[in-house]
Amino acid sequence: MATDDDDKPKKKISHEIGQDLTLLSVEELAERIALLNAEIARLQSSMQLKRATRDAADRFFKS
């Protein structure tokens, strides 16, 4: 049988830079760190792709 907790939609984790952290638990802080680490990895991947595209264009137009 489902409990009341199963019926509630899970709250989406989000983080705002500079947000007050005093009311967050250790577990919530760990979730935020994981979220931000994943976002950093996503940003770095996008940056690498853009650099590779720019470098390919530079090579094409220099030849």
Q: Per-block average pLDDT, block size 10, for the chain (63 residues)?
A: 64 87 96 96 98 94 84
pTM of the predicted protein model: 0.69
Question: What's the residue count for the chain?
Answer: 63
Model pLDDT, residue 14:
86
Model pLDDT, residue 45:
98
Model pLDDT, residue 3:
61
What CA–CA distances, in Å, run from 46 to 38, 53, 60?
Answer: 12, 11, 21
Report yes or no: 39 and 16 within 8 Å, Cβ to Cβ.
no
